[in-house]
Amino acid sequence: MKTDDIQLMAYVDGELPPQERDEVEREIDVSPELAERVALLKASRLPYRQAFANQTLPPVPESLTKKIEELARAAQAGQPSPASANDAVLKHGVHLPPSAPIRSRLRNAPAWLAVAFVAGVVCGGAILRLAPGVAPGIGANGATLASATMGASPWVRAAANYQQLYTRDTVAQIEPDTDLSAKTVDQIRRTDGLALRIPDLRAAGLTFKGVQRLRFNNKPLVQIVYLPAQGDPVALCVMKDVKPDQTIAQQRVDKMDVVTWRQAELSYALIGAPGNVDLPALAKQISDSRVGSIFSEATLARKAFSG
Amino acid sequence: MTGADLSSMLPEMLPRLWAFALRISGDQHDAEDLVQRACVRALERAHQLRPDTAPLSWMFSIVHSTWINELRARSVRNRSSMDWDDDFLETVADPAARTPEEDVMNQQIVSAVQRLPEAQRVVMLLVAVEGLSYNEAAEALNVPIGTIMSRLSRARQAIGALFDGREDHKMKSRAKDKGSVS
């Protein structure tokens, strides 16, 4: 019998039937080389599991736990496969080289985040819901801002939670795609029926990075992303909302500052991380139409008729 | 199995998938992206999961193949064990360990496994650490069971050389050559 490594391992682990074991032992007796391998294998019988159990690993990141829960919920709700949705978005979304490492691909792909977002909000009302009244950060400007004690509406909370996933790196490398954005704005106006303009916030130091059509509870939700000179991106999110106008109100959703208002049957939420941008002032400028718009109606009309 | 069936198991599997991804990639950011992508891929092809395959080994296999693809994409085909970044994988003194000797031993074991060549390391992680059977490991890595056993045998001989108390043996172990465990 020619004893091989696999047999030797089984021998050392006591997994050979008696007859085979005896044969192996006879071979070991006459072969120092086999005896050597057996000695090594014996020395390798170590408490691996215990050793690794004592290894201090970083905990599962909260962001990962959240994303997996969202994926799981989307799958359970019978959503179309999140990944194919992602691919579809990516085709006319962010163009990144396919060879980019996982890390950069995901970090820089808002389309991916959009999927996580959609997956989360479709069935995420329950998890995203804060207790009513738990809306700190109304702030010292409370006198000039409407009360926000009833808490943010579900879509605003969803959008704010989504925006938390954005880092400066997420959007810093994106070159705005004018054609794509114009097309998206056209779809927003014609398909989604939102009479929306994209505010030009350059005067306030914010660079337009892109506009996306997302969905919340099967209704269009528009997300316009800007990058300030410093700090994390700011998003202006908009949904149709057939209710009377509402003045601007500031609130805190989780770690994000949110300023909301309603105007001409559109609900707006301006969302950013605390600190870098004066969101209430910016909201005031937008709602007072004191800023220009990037994709003007004239541009869109030209495109619509020429196409 | 449907995506819905699988999805209900994912949150529970997550800690083990995370640990496995960390241990094969050696990088927290990679591990996070890896697990995420593996879960998306798994949900996409949940229907391919046969009833006789353990969902956990199947998930390990997807995490592993996703990582291999990633390494190829990065053209780091032969990631040598010298690249291993174990800044965050250090074992620390474990208050539950009964003796300091045991603690040192644990660290040496982890270190010895981490320094194995990639193919052997993954088999050791799956079989000796995660407790998969040879069969499950073979399924997870999509190689014949004989390959699993011979990789395991080579891995164990290399580790055995480090832990073998005798002075007179000569072992051509990579890990030994690196002198990483003293």
Q: Angle between the A82-91 and A62-76 helix axes, to the nearest 10 degrees?
A: 100
Domain limits for position B158: 99-182
> How high is the pLDDT of residue A270?
95
A43 with B165: Cβ contact below 8 A: yes
Q: Are residues B1 and B40 in the same domain?
A: yes
Q: How far is A290 from chain B (nearest CA, A)?
A: 42
B140 with B79, same domain: the answer is no
Tokens of A229: 């000179």
Residue A211: which of A241, A242, A189, A244 has the closest Cα? A189
At B62 the pLDDT is 92
Query: Which residue, among A1, A6, A10, has the nearest Cα to B146 in the 3D structure?
Result: A6
B143 and chain A in contact, CB less than 8 A: no
- What HEC string does A168-223 produce? HHHHHCCCCCHHHHHHHHHHHHHCCCCCCCCECCHHHCCEEEEEEEEEECCEEEEE
Same domain for B21 and B86? yes
pLDDT in tens, chain A (307 residues): 456 888 899 999 888 999 999 999 999 999 999 999 999 999 999 999 888 888 778 899 999 999 998 888 887 775 444 333 333 333 333 333 333 344 443 333 334 334 444 443 433 333 333 333 333 333 333 333 443 334 678 888 888 877 777 777 777 777 787 888 888 888 888 888 888 889 999 888 999 988 888 777 778 888 899 999 888 889 999 998 888 888 888 888 888 899 999 998 899 999 998 887 899 999 999 988 888 888 765 455 554 444 4
Least confident of A38-52, A187-201, B63-77, B121-135: B63-77
Rounded CA-CA distance B68/B83 in Å is 16
The SS3 call for residue A238 is strand
Chain A residues lying within 8 Å of B113, measured CB to CB? 48, 52
Query: Could you tell me the CATH number of the domain that includes residue B26?
Result: 1.10.1740.10
CATH classification of the domain holding B103: 1.10.10.10
User: Do residues B131 and B153 share a domain?
Assistant: yes
Residue B96: band (very low, low, confident or very high) from pLDDT cuts 50, 70, 90: low
Kindly state whether residues B32 and B10 are assigned to the same domain.
Answer: yes
For residue A18, the model assigns a pLDDT of: 92
- Picking from B112, B121, B13, the residue whose alpha carbon sits closest to that of residue B58 is B13
Task: Please indicate whether, in this complex, the C-beta atoms of A55 and B149 are within 8 angstroms of each other.
Answer: no
Question: Does B173 lie in the same domain as B121?
Answer: yes
B59 and B121 in a single domain? The answer is: no
What residue in A sits closest to B6 (Cα-Cα)? A72
Please tell me the predicted confidence (pLDDT) of residue A131: 34
Cβ of B94 and A36 within 8 Å?
Answer: no
Split into its structural domains, chain B has a count of 2
Is B149 in Cβ contact with A57 (below 8 Å)? no
**Phi, then psi, of B179 in degrees rounded to 5:** 60, 35
